Amino acid sequence: MLANPMKPFLAIAAFVALCLPSFAHADTFEIKEIEGGLEVLKDGKLLTRYLTKSGAKPVLWPLIGPHGNEITRAYPMREAGEHERDDHIHHRSFWFTHGNVNGVDFWAETEGHGNIIHKGFKKAKGGDTAVIETKNDWVDAKGNKVCEDTRRLTFGKNGDSYWIDFDTTVTASEGEVVFGDTKEGSFGVRVAGSMKVTSQMGGTIVNEQGDKDLQAWGKASPWVDYVGPVKGKTVGIAILNHPTSFRYPTYWHVRTYGLFTANPFGLHHFKNSNDVDGSHKMAKGESMTLRYRVYVHPGNTEAADIAAQFKAYKAVKK
């Protein structure tokens, strides 16, 4: 833990302040420093906040959809709202972590859990696109460092839709690291309560192959789209997996109650076989990189042409 938890903000304040004069409402994206993180604005309106600590990890919350409404669950950052359940306190809007790293649970917020500690912003820049880069330490319950990651979030827009590219490199900085085989991971979101399939308000899950709802769980696919209504407007959150990402195409821990994560490690759960081991071992100094695009769109999967959006993302050089 940092002796002075505000040190990262003090360090970044100077360069953010230098950037601020170049930001104007005419720009697509603005980045502003706030207590506890950064705020991202699109066309002068709140898009999301990067919170350096929520529970056991950094998160994005809230995520605002194309009609100006929150499209990720508010709980536990505030009390559960309409159509929401106060379950799974660790499902915090938009995050990346894993349930078994050298035996440490970074996923759940139960006794003995690990923590992902924000160590500082490497970059925060707005304009036609916005970029946030961070460095984070993964530490066990006693404060011992297990590994580290760097994250790059790139924000862009496409008409009424927008996207967030989430590229993260995990490095075995301290010694051997094993990301264990568990379904409890790894990158994803918890969608708004009205969007979830079990609300029976029109929510649906679909992957590239056409598997829907319950059938999409545990399948490998280049992309999955979770579509449903928020305040009477149909919106979708699609997560696309870049071909250069570790173990592309990823498997999906996507649930009809609103959990939506990409997980390339939980193979014995997804394949329902103890003869399969999806764990990944890295020697000291080795790294792995995971790359995803979160594509937020109005309308359903067909209207947003997610297949074409994936084709465009696939062509991006990483």
The pLDDT score that the predictor gives to residue 25 is 47
Q: Which CATH number characterizes residue 214's domain?
A: 2.70.98
Does residue 188 carry a pLDDT above 90?
A: yes
Q: Give the largest CA-CA distance in the chain.
A: 58
Helix, strand or coil, per DSSP, at residue 248: coil
Evaluate whether residue 297 is within a structural domain.
yes
Give percent of the chain with pLDDT exceeding 90.
Answer: 91
Weakest-pLDDT range from 13-22, 53-62, 119-128, 276-285? 13-22
CA–CA distance, 300 with 318 (Å, rounded to integer) = 28
Q: For the chain, what is the domain count?
A: 1
DSSP-assigned letter for residue 136: E
Mean pLDDT of all residues in 256-267? 98
Evaluate whether residue 290 is within a structural domain.
yes
Evaluate whether residue 1 is within a structural domain.
no
Mean pLDDT of all residues in 104-116? 97
Evaluate whether residue 293 is within a structural domain.
yes
Mean pLDDT of all residues in 190-218? 98
Instruction: Please tell me the number of Cα atoms within 13 Å of 105 on its side-chain side.
Output: 11
Does residue 17 carry a pLDDT above 50?
A: no
Average pLDDT of the chain to the nearest whole number = 93
Evaluate whether residue 206 is within a structural domain.
yes
The pLDDT score that the predictor gives to residue 12 is 43
Evaluate whether residue 2 is within a structural domain.
no
pLDDT digits (tens, 9 = 90+) for 78-98: 999 889 999 999 999 999 999
The pLDDT score that the predictor gives to residue 179 is 98
Mean pLDDT of all residues in 212-229? 98
CA–CA distance, 37 with 44 (Å, rounded to integer) = 18
CA–CA distance, 94 with 74 (Å, rounded to integer) = 11
Domain membership of residue 245 as a residue range: 7-314
Evaluate whether residue 13 is within a structural domain.
yes
Does residue 24 carry a pLDDT above 50?
A: no
